[in-house]
Chains A and B, each alone.
Chain A
């Protein structure tokens, strides 16, 4: 008789189709109801923070792209920003605009991948392919601009590595013209679909208090009713000169997280448009040529830069120690999203796991670093 009321322990991951890499969740199930959840992270730990300590500032720069492989530009920028502050390097205006342009396109690419995989987790297959099709266009632009599709190594101390050619600007303008229609297509398939709504509405509610206590940032926090965007509250680069909206929602469920991200696609497109119009008319330098990155030598000093990445606040702390960093610390948004998972999953159904976990947009390399 006692066996009947026993709960079942089930191990999801680290090799499970929907854990987006190598997250392991130990779930305690009562029927299909999740009674407790214990995330186990660290299967993708590459020691990225430690790697900095025996490399020069420049040698560490390409490695940084690999922290969050879907948002390489954000990592790069956070690190470059640190070094630029520590070594007191000026960045020309055009370089700043190019950086914003790249980062916003990167944000679109990242959100598209999230949307596709989220829908695949929920069981709809075709949005995945449409999202990848559009993401592919962004990656082609990046490849033409930087030389590689994901590990860009494009930002450097004092600017960016290459100027942005006019044919790429044309490509980007065509892309941002086409994109609203594509987003409209996704919304037609997804947003009002009763199955999608029933799986996401009021599932995995992240309350304002919880979100703040677990220091969730980014779209997840904005979906819980806190209108905090570091592009607005702490404008780095040229965000104070750009006109864009930040969306927030109050319900904090999976559906509002979806809504916020869809809105962000639109606002990123708007920013890209403004950047293009500046870059076209600017005759500025794209790189501060006076910097000698190879020989960079910074005295003991410390600086923390923060970036609004697609998955929340990404901050990089560099403690300089002469020719190489003494210590580098990365703070990434996904890590905190994994921490809050047990809170959200209690008393949810097993089928809700995918809707909740997917909606948080967790990228495992970013968690494990």
Chain B
């Protein structure tokens, strides 16, 4: 970030604009990048999900709008935005309008935390991984408000289920984050990623020492994202549409957007913790070899890192969608049992094992 900032300051200094002004306007750029990337990724994700589900069920998926249906989600989004915002008579009006915003905004913040390449970490604080875990829970408040304020019994049941789910799956996530940060000796996501560089390339990734942790984080993320098999809050066969039953138009679009953006952010987070984030799996970058010019090579590397990050994240997304195609939905009581009786003890065991592992590695001086 500092590198970019200095380029920026130099650029504006040419026009006689003082440094202080640049400091103020500079955050607008990352915000725009984040917002644009978010919308784009969500549009792609929805299409990808429908295509993947179609792939698994011998169908063609969307194939009407644009070439092979690539514009289908754009058409859907335009339709949603043009629709009327229907609001039932007896809702709590303020909370009803506020809920989608609360559900959506934290996702944007989460996007800012993820370092998509070594200089693009917009919110870089030393405990960013914990910050991520904390902010990722906030959308649930929006969900609960939505269920409460829409004055619909199905919505209420859905939102209560969502709350229960998040409470029980937050603990295993924290334990996994802690065990990874012990491996990396840092709570900063960028440092965690950078500490996965190794002379044996892929072997440095934390998936290898901490496979159990990956499984736990993956399962818990599914629960936090309300994805199948943990999609209880919006189980359409039981609760019509769950917490967003009464929502339509733009407000529904916000919920939808937030959900899919969070899906991608969570897989990005898993990628960062276990799959070396933006690191190239081959240990070198092509632009390093092509461009001798220092600045061009540097910028090329950024883009290449972002490319690897997106590829890895999309693989995790694919995994999540694959799970969706296969598994039936858990029951809420089974879900709690699974979390407290299996996942939580396992994550604690994993934590202890990682501590021992780290200790032995440090003693042996292997790294």
Contacts and interface: CB of A to CB of B under 8 A. Distances in A.
Contacts of A119: 328
B325 A350 contact: no
Given A8-B153, A353-B238, A196 B328 contact: yes
**Best-buried of B231, B238, B327, B330 by chain A (most CB within 10 Å):** B238
Contacts of B57: 125-126, 128-130
B293 interface: no
A198 interface: yes
Interface stretch (A10-18, A212-220, A240-248, A302-310): A10-18
Contact of A198 (B157, B232, B326, B331): B331
Nearest to B333: A349
A209 interface: no
A352 B330 CA distance: 10
Contact of B237 (A121, A130, A196, A198): A121
B332 A354 contact: no
A216 to B, nearest CB: 23
B56 interface: yes
A349 B331 contact: yes
Contact of B238 (A18, A130, A195): A18
Contacts of B324: 125
A66 to B, nearest CB: 26
Interface string A8-39: 10100000111000000000000010000000
Given A123-B237, A125-B325, A351-B238, A195 B330 contact: yes
A122 B157 contact: no
A195 B327 contact: yes
A340 B173 CA distance: 44
Interface string B57-88: 11100000000000000000000000000000
Contacts of A353: 238
Interface string B310-333: 000000000000001111111111
Contacts of A352: 331
Contacts of B229: 123, 195
**On chain A, which size bracket covers the interface?**
20 to 34
B235 interface: yes
B237 A195 contact: no
A10 B334 CA distance: 23
B329 A32 contact: no
Given A133-B58, A351-B332, A124 B237 contact: no
B326 A124 contact: yes
B327 A124 contact: yes
A233 interface: no
Interface in A197-223: 198-199
Interface in B280-296: none
Contact of A193 (B58, B328, B332): B328
A196 B334 CA distance: 11
B250 interface: no
Given A195-B328, A195-B330, A349-B331, A123 B235 contact: yes
A164 interface: no
A350 B328 contact: no
B325 A349 contact: no
A123 B233 CA distance: 12
B328 A129 contact: no
B240 interface: yes
Interface string A107-122: 0000000000001111
Interface in A311-363: 349-354
Given A193-B328, A198-B334, A349-B332, A125 B53 contact: yes
Q: Which of B57, B231, B232, B240 has the most CB of A within 10 A?
A: B57
B178 to A, nearest CB: 28
Nearest to B57: A129
A168 interface: no
12 contacts: A10-B153, A18-B238, A32-B157, A123-B228, A126-B57, A129-B58, A130-B58, A195-B327, A195-B328, A349-B331, A351-B329, A351-B332
Given A32-B332, A199-B330, A352-B331, 11 more contacts: A18-B237, A32-B333, A119-B328, A126-B57, A129-B58, A195-B229, A195-B329, A198-B331, A350-B238, A351-B238, A354-B238
Minimum-distance CB pairs A-B, first 5: A123-B329, A129-B57, A18-B237, A122-B328, A124-B328
